[in-house]
Structure 1
Amino acid sequence: MSSILPTSSTSSTSSTSSGSNVSTYSDPGGPPITFSSLFSGINTQAIIQALMAAYEQPQVDLAKQIQSLQTNLSDYQTIVSDLSSLQTQANALLQPSQLSSMSASTSDAAVATATAGQGAIPSSLTFNVNQLAQANILASSGTVSSLSSQVASGNFLLSSSAAGAGVTSLAGSSLQVGTHSFSVTSALSGATATGTSPLASSITIGSSNDTIAATVNGTAETFTIASGTYTPAQLAAAISQASSVSGTPLLQAQVNAQGQLELGTTLLGSSASLQITGGTALSTLGLAAQASASVGTAGSVTLDGTVTAVNNVQAGQTVSLADGTGGSITIGIGSFGLSQGSFTATEVAAGNGSLSQVVSNINAAGAGVTASAVQVSSGTYVLQLVSNQTGTASAITVEQAPFQSALGSFTTIAAAQNAQVQIGGQSGYLVSSQTNQVQGVLPGVTLNLVSAQPPGSAPVTVSVTPDGKTLASSIQSLVNAANQVLSDINTYAGYNEQTNTGGPLMGDSTLNGITSQVLGVIAQTLGEGGITAAQAGITLNKNGTISFDAQTFAQLYDQNPTAVTSLFAQSGTFNPSSSTYAGDVSLVYAGDGTQAGSYQVVVSQSATQATDSGSVLASGTITNAETLTVAQGSQSVQYAASAGESLSAIAQGLNAAFAQAGMGMQASVVSSSSGSQIVLTASAYGTQGDFTVTTTATGSGQTGLATSANTPESFTGLNVAGTINGVAATGNGQVLAAPTTDPTLAGLSLQVSASGITSATTIGSFVYSPGISGQLALIANGATAPVTGSLEARMSGIQQQISMLQQQYNGYTPMIQNEQKMLEQEYSAMESQLGSLQSVGSELAGQIAQLP
């Protein structure tokens, strides 16, 4: 707050010339009044100033009071600022996750390094780096003699994302230049079977383990694998070859990222089915006989807003997609179909068709590919294409026909390759990554791959350990903020024994209370196992300040991070009223104003998920085609089910669509002695998971997920309802939140997972512990909160006093002006009268002098 400085609207000046005294009075309401003490010889200005000094004294006293209050206000503002800083530092250490400090290292940095992030926990594992991720590089098989040579006969499609969706080729017709968007809303897939364990690095097949018995697309088959010793990739090729009937393979095989064998039908769509029934090779292949057949799914692809259904096609076939503007794109279908997701392809203008023009246009197209004209020898150039990203999902797909006559086909210089890490040694499992940064092998840890290891290399160990040294800097900031509060309170409200003087705010019980509270938090807070702040390196000094030993803290944190975290962070324990509710309540949020304590939890309504249960079908399949639309919030998905499609396939298709749209929904099939039914369930509890279902077909033999055709039907969940500490709380899903305005609970929010409750039931008590950070935040909030804060109220009172005194001060100003004006006028009149008398005296003296 800026100082209010008293001002005066009166002014006077005086000067002495030739022994006379001249005064000038300035009145804002009129012309200056000037008078001289020539006649009296009296210093009238000095007399007026002396009289006015006494008259102005009450206003001077008010000014001193205002200045004193402004000083006090400024001191309080400094302390409030200190407390706000303390609250900020404390809030940065409230949650257990904020006190998680881990470091990660590897035993061989030449192979891989590691970084630990949020969610990392003490752990370790061993791994080998089998291969690094690399980008796809293509080059033309033919050459041209110069940069101006023509290499393209027309525009062409280019993509660095289509391969990731299973597209093997692109060819456009009548397309607009620019980017074209694809969305595979329903995956096209064959029926599949996946091994349960990784394949060995070397597999030998002989007469005792060479057969697979399966029912493929409804026909029983037995396939015999050729004898030999194979790598996993070679074995997959041998299985595909063994499944050929009349020269056409019925099955295709590949090894997935986990090293497991995957079998799939070459027929892709809802008519595909596969059931592994037996065979001597199953154990070797990591496969098991299936109780029922898996089925394929029909696909749906949207190109620039136009939808095309794709179903029952052979792997390797091409499908034409219309773009809605008269153009079309023909795509090649990969071995395992089209995976759900989005990708783009860019129609690149050939321009004049020259090598330099094509290179320039590709690089300007933003297709994720860099083109170069590479001179391989004098007068010999090739067109090279390099994907801007590593991994198989970023492999290049280019329309080749426009280049055939000049450059021939494109050959692979470097195949797109995912990084491959084998966890746990040679008998472990494989993890694949599109980049050389591998995540997910340990919580919160990223492996940064540097080099691939030769076969048989010793595994690398990654270790995640507590890092108390790094966290100590945050604790030091908290201690520094607390010491600043204590220091400034002592400066403004304490007593200086050396000077025997007290601060301007000495005696303020609120400030003394804050000091006691801050020191009490450090002295009295206990963590898990009775750990104290002193054990964590935080101690109290005789002069009323706090010391922090970072080394002591780091050592204890590294030994027991959980206990140290409990000393600082908010936490809570639930004491259930019966074992039925054990573990059903946990802390979600506590505000800076939430008081420590034990609070009874009463639930009157458990949270539920929105659920839609369809009709029970004895056959497990639908009779007629049916399109389902599921909407949740602003998102919706659509799945077109074919006549005779199984409920399992429909559920799979819906789940794929939900995943693609990022919807919190799950489709499942529930079976009983009467048949099977589809059940749709919202992932979220309460009203936030509400959804609607629309179907194009109802009646016997249909899914029964909606009762009326083409009419949305709503399904809702219930929010939890109840009280905390007797205070009515608001439910949102499973979260029960007390009012933020409650002086004790201050927004305390608990997750309540107790189920099946429909009437008021006391399920137990929740004990909230704010920890050192929470308690310091509570102290700061109690003093600085707008309106209710103790120091905010104190400052508001001071400001009111200043305002009242300023009004009084301002009231004196016109009175002082009038008084000075009156005195100036009186003395001016006196001098004038004296002048007249002197003039008369002079005349008399002259007349007397002329007397005889």
Structure 2
Amino acid sequence: MGISSPGIGSGIDVNTIVSKLMAVESAPLADFDKKSASYLAQVSAFGNLSSALGSFQGSLASLTSVSSFQSLISTPSDSTVMSATANSTAQPGNYRVNISQIAQAQTLASGGYKSTTAAIGVGNKTTINFALGTVSGGTFGISGSALGASLSTGGLTPGSLTLNNTVIATDGSTRSARLLADAINAKSTTTGVSAKPSATVTSANLFGASGASTYGDVDTSGGGTYALTVGGVEIAAQASGVAGGAGLTAAALDTALTSSAVTRALADANITVSGTAADGTLRFSNADGSNIAVTEVVTGSVTGGIGNSGTANVGSSSTAVGSISLVSNDGSPISVGGTNPAGAGFTAGTGGAYLGASFAADATRTSGNIVIDSTNNTLQGILDAINKGNFGVTASIVSDGSTGTGATPNHLILTSSATGVSSTMKITLAGSGGNPPDPDLVSLLGYDPAGVQNLSQKAAAADTRATVNGIAVTSSSTSISGAIAGVNISALAVGNSTLTVAKDSSALTTNVNGFVKAFNELNSQITSLGAYNADTKSGGPLLGDTTLRSLQSGVRRQLSASITGLRGTSLTNLSQIGISFQKDGTLSLDNAKLQKAINTNFNDIAGLFAAVGRGTDPDIKFVSSGSNTKAGDYALNITQLATQGTLQGNVALPAETTIDADTTWTVTLNDTTPPTLANTATISLPAGTYNPSQLATLLQSSINGVSAFANAGATVTATVGDDGKLKLQSTRYGAKSNIHLITASGTDASAVFGSGSSVDGLDVAGTIGGYMATGDGQNLTGAAGAPVEGLKLTVTGDALGNRGSFGFSQGYAYQLNALAASYLGAKGAITSRTTGLNNSVKDITKQKDAFNSRLTDIEARYRKQYTALDTSIASMNKTASFLTQQFAALSKG
């Protein structure tokens, strides 16, 4: 390929000529770049506007809620004792709070096991049922045996007894159950243990046995005398010279015990009498645990008396000594020690159990079953089964650190998942196929507060107990609500505190100032983007833009209008709380005027900013609204109330219903169309005999204990009506509320429900403002296309037909939030404009590329033309040179 250098042959500067021609041809490129830069500047400006509007919308988010303007502040005097929060329904005031007990969960522990993986029992299939409920009556502690025989004469030496590592003050004067109980109770604040003496009762065979008296006729004919005293009270006496049978006999003793003087004297000594000497059943008792000394005082020659018939009586004395039981004040174990705990009727060690208590399952708490067999009959297997059950009890294994041969360090620990007295556990075990439960599993897990307690309680289920302004209140958790309307107290520690509830005017003021500040920042950005500078004769990137002007006018129009639809308030515009427009288009706030509004209309200020709904019927509540909901006052008409799905039995339950072993029922709760697998589960019912109330509790807790139901928020209630019929009812309302039950094995469901049938729930139905509305459970929502579109109300109560009217208003923050949303987002006006501008830039880029392609062709054409010219001229120059040479040569010749 040859080398070309245009112009060399002709002398024409082809490159310069073409370059200058192309400069003229490419002049329109600058217009493309100018347009593109203008569009991109607008895109950037809209980006700034979008950012400013987004910030403005973000500042409005908290202002669209009523609670942002009606908050109250709760201040405890002692924050270590309690904390508190108050909502808009609370009343300002001062309250005295005394917390005496903090709620806790029950904890049970097993005995020690060497291994967590070794088999427990022989693997017989055993169903273990966990129920949660309340213990009533009785005490938790240790029941002592009879005090040491020497106590009545020698007392208890110092250091004989310690409780929870505290020495009980005993000495030689501690000679009765009552005195020992007094010594223990004197240390109760330190030990957490109190004592309760049992009644002291004389020996059952002191005056006879098997219905025969052993009290012989007293004979003083030999010159002696006789007297019988009980607890220092002389019951009967016989002077000398009285032959046997003519004086004091068993029958005469019974007569003496009925005399008013003796009766009064015994009552003064707190001694009661039961039985008779005549039939050998006479016994004396003292309810306060004091000793009872029964003494025969004899002088001279006497025969007969206690255990004596016809033989000499030289006098006798016997002292009945009582026993005591220890009561743990908080249900925790009691540690017993000392140099002679046996003298006080106790064995050294740590323990405690419910004594004389009863247990009632709580129908509101879940219950559940686990099955233990040869596949999981280890400590670890039992733990896994319990935790997988998810029915309100958690399990763990704790090692006590013991080592060496025979050490059993591993303990199964069971803890109720919730606090409160209704979280006490009862654990029952049942076998399968007619076989009893595995005895080793019973020894490990059997626990009934009213019966055998093979697990040790380490912490008792307890409620939070407090007084508020002197009124006693309890709560199953550390949270106390309802004691003070609108206030929730969190108990942190035992102690006293005052609580001050006051209007949070500072938060309201902050919110109002935040609103003004957010608007002014947005207004500044809008002004900057659309302004014209007369000095520089330049405008902002969005000068004259319709979208910007529309946004600006829309914001100002909404802020200038009055709020409509507000019910029961005189506040309808911003100027009433001190907010007004300035000449430069900004907002200013008169804080004095705002404070006055706070003082006089605190609860109504929220209506100026948030969406507010208020009805004349207190059973109809505002839930939410939509962007298309129009402010106004709407009449309400309810044609159908929401109902719950039920399974109603049609036979009265007998006094007792027996549930056989291996009874399982399949329950479907709140199912959908088409059916959802998670809405059906099989429950196992523990074998036993139940009265109607117990049966209802069992069914309710068993169904509610299904983890799949609990995870979906599906629960039931079980009640027995006045007619004795059992009803299961879904707690959900509406067409999605239903319950169905079929027998899988064991006792048939008809034994409980007869031929009763299931009825599905219904949604609420009616109109809002005369417009159709859609029901979903108890919620009624205005239909699309109507002014009430998106207005959602909760309808309760039992009245049909006209239910009054409902006023709905949209405060300024709510309206502006909706306006901002219409400009932002994927379908917003700003996004639309930005998309259009970007598309214009793309079109310009395409046009510029096409023009550049054409310029390339034009340049090529110019170069071709001038190259041809260059070649022609070069050729002519060459010819001219040749001719010149030839003419010169001819001239010489």
State the TM bucket, normalised to the shorter chain. 0.5 to 0.7
SS of aligned partner of 2:55: helix
Instruction: Note if 1:609 corresponds to 2:630.
Output: no
Instruction: Note if 1:533 corresponds to 2:574.
Output: yes
Instruction: Note if 1:64 corresponds to 2:34.
Output: yes
The 3 A distance-change label for structure 1 pair 566 and 191 is same
Provide the rounded CA distance (Å) in 2 between the counterparts of 1:705 and 1:236: 52
1:462 offset after TM fit, Å? 0.6
Provide the rounded CA distance (Å) in 1 between the counterparts of 2:698 and 2:858: 96
SS of aligned partner of 1:53: helix
Provide the rounded CA distance (Å) in 2 between the counterparts of 1:296 and 1:69: 71
Residue number among 670, 681, 696 corresponding to 1:651 in the alignment: 696
The 3 A distance-change label for structure 1 pair 697 and 497 is farther
The 3 A distance-change label for structure 1 pair 240 and 57 is farther
Query: Is the Cα–Cα contact under 8 Å of residues 653 and 752 in structure 2 kept in the other structure?
Result: no
1:430 offset after TM fit, Å? 5.1
SS of aligned partner of 2:761: coil
Q: TM-score, normalised by structure 2?
A: 0.59
Instruction: Note if 1:775 corresponds to 2:815.
Output: yes
Deviations 1:687-737 (Å, cap 9, x if unpaired)?
34322223555598x431665xxxxx7542122345556765443212233
Instruction: Note if 1:176 corresponds to 2:211.
Output: no
Residue number among 600, 603, 610 corresponding to 1:562 in the alignment: 603
Instruction: Note if 1:846 corresponds to 2:889.
Output: no
Report the counterpart of residue 753 of structure 2 in structure 1: 704
Provide the rounded CA distance (Å) in 2 between the counterparts of 1:178 and 1:470: 63
1:776 offset after TM fit, Å? 0.7
Deviations 1:162-182 (Å, cap 9, x if unpaired)?
x44xx4754558752799x99
Letter in 1 for 2:500: S
The 3 A distance-change label for structure 1 pair 131 and 32 is farther
Deviations 1:357-376 (Å, cap 9, x if unpaired)?
99xx98xx99799xxxxxxx
1:820 offset after TM fit, Å? 0.8
1:827 offset after TM fit, Å? 1.5
SS of aligned partner of 1:47: helix
- Aligned CA RMSD, in angstroms, stands at 5.6
Letter in 1 for 2:822: G
The 3 A distance-change label for structure 1 pair 521 and 439 is same
Letter in 2 for 1:77: G
Residue number among 18, 25, 37 corresponding to 1:55 in the alignment: 25
Query: Is the Cα–Cα contact under 8 Å of residues 644 and 737 in structure 2 kept in the other structure?
Result: yes
Query: Is the Cα–Cα contact under 8 Å of residues 572 and 768 in structure 1 kept in the other structure?
Result: yes
The 3 A distance-change label for structure 1 pair 54 and 394 is farther
Letter in 1 for 2:545: D
Query: Is the Cα–Cα contact under 8 Å of residues 468 and 483 in structure 2 kept in the other structure?
Result: no
Letter in 1 for 2:580: T
The 3 A distance-change label for structure 1 pair 823 and 507 is same
SS of aligned partner of 2:574: coil
Report the counterpart of residue 116 of structure 1 in structure 2: 85
Deviations 1:425-476 (Å, cap 9, x if unpaired)?
6x531547877x87775545444646x55xxxxx631112222324544444
- 1:736-775 matches, within 5 Å, as 736-738=780-782, 742=785, 747-753=790-796, 766-775=806-815
1:822 offset after TM fit, Å? 0.6
Report the counterpart of residue 429 of structure 1 in structure 2: 472
Letter in 2 for 1:512: R
SS of aligned partner of 2:63: coil
- 1:267-416 matches, within 5 Å, as 305-306=370-371, 325-327=376-378, 341-346=392-397, 348=399, 352-353=403-404
Letter in 1 for 2:698: G
Letter in 1 for 2:587: I
Report the counterpart of residue 720 of structure 2 in structure 1: 669
Which consecutive residues of structure 1, in runs of 5 or more, have no partner in the other structure? 1-30, 136-160, 195-225, 258-263, 271-294, 308-321, 332-338, 370-386, 403-411, 454-458, 576-581, 708-712
1:823 offset after TM fit, Å? 0.5
Provide the rounded CA distance (Å) in 2 between the counterparts of 1:551 and 1:32: 93
Query: Is the Cα–Cα contact under 8 Å of residues 656 and 689 in structure 2 kept in the other structure?
Result: yes
Instruction: Note if 1:95 corresponds to 2:65.
Output: yes
Report the counterpart of residue 742 of structure 2 in structure 1: 694
The 3 A distance-change label for structure 1 pair 564 and 657 is farther
Greater fraction strand: 1
Provide the rounded CA distance (Å) in 2 between the counterparts of 1:554 and 1:323: 74
Instruction: Note if 1:717 corresponds to 2:662.
Output: no
Query: Is the Cα–Cα contact under 8 Å of residues 82 and 481 in structure 1 kept in the other structure?
Result: no
The 3 A distance-change label for structure 1 pair 510 and 620 is farther
Provide the rounded CA distance (Å) in 2 between the counterparts of 1:779 and 1:100: 24
1:116 offset after TM fit, Å? 2.7
Report the counterpart of residue 519 of structure 1 in structure 2: 556
Report the counterpart of residue 469 of structure 1 in structure 2: 506
1:296 offset after TM fit, Å? 10
Instruction: Note if 1:827 corresponds to 2:872.
Output: no
SS of aligned partner of 2:642: coil
Letter in 2 for 1:650: L
Report the counterpart of residue 4 of structure 1 in structure 2: none
The 3 A distance-change label for structure 1 pair 619 and 828 is same
- 1:486-501 matches, within 5 Å, as 486-496=523-533, 499=536, 501=538
SS of aligned partner of 1:70: helix
Letter in 2 for 1:678: L
Query: Is the Cα–Cα contact under 8 Å of residues 188 and 296 in structure 1 kept in the other structure?
Result: yes
Report the counterpart of residue 545 of structure 1 in structure 2: 586
1:826 offset after TM fit, Å? 1.4
Letter in 1 for 2:520: N
Deviates most, 835-844 or 793-802: 793-802
Deviations 1:653-678 (Å, cap 9, x if unpaired)?
3344466554432222221xxx3222
SS of aligned partner of 2:647: strand
Letter in 2 for 1:784: L
The 3 A distance-change label for structure 1 pair 106 and 604 is closer
Query: Is the Cα–Cα contact under 8 Å of residues 75 and 492 in structure 1 kept in the other structure?
Result: yes
Provide the rounded CA distance (Å) in 2 between the counterparts of 1:522 and 1:681: 50
Letter in 2 for 1:834: I
SS of aligned partner of 2:724: strand
Which consecutive residues of structure 2, in runs of 5 or more, have no partner in the other structure? 121-125, 140-177, 202-273, 275-284, 288-321, 332-353, 383-389, 426-440, 445-455, 671-677
1:684 offset after TM fit, Å? 1.7
Provide the rounded CA distance (Å) in 2 between the counterparts of 1:706 and 1:236: 55
1:780 offset after TM fit, Å? 1.0
SS of aligned partner of 1:751: strand
Provide the rounded CA distance (Å) in 2 between the counterparts of 1:431 and 1:472: 37
Provide the rounded CA distance (Å) in 1 between the counterparts of 2:414 and 2:2: 85
Structure whose alpha-carbon radius of gyration is higher = 2
Residue number among 621, 624, 631 corresponding to 1:586 in the alignment: 621
- Report how many aligned residue pairs link the two structures: 642
Query: Is the Cα–Cα contact under 8 Å of residues 117 and 379 in structure 2 kept in the other structure?
Result: no
Query: Is the Cα–Cα contact under 8 Å of residues 593 and 778 in structure 1 kept in the other structure?
Result: no
Report the counterpart of residue 27 of structure 1 in structure 2: none
Provide the rounded CA distance (Å) in 2 between the counterparts of 1:296 and 1:569: 42
Letter in 1 for 2:588: S
1:354 offset after TM fit, Å? 9.6
Deviations 1:144-167 (Å, cap 9, x if unpaired)?
xxxxxxxxxxxxxxxxx7x44xx4
Query: Is the Cα–Cα contact under 8 Å of residues 10 and 871 in structure 2 kept in the other structure?
Result: no
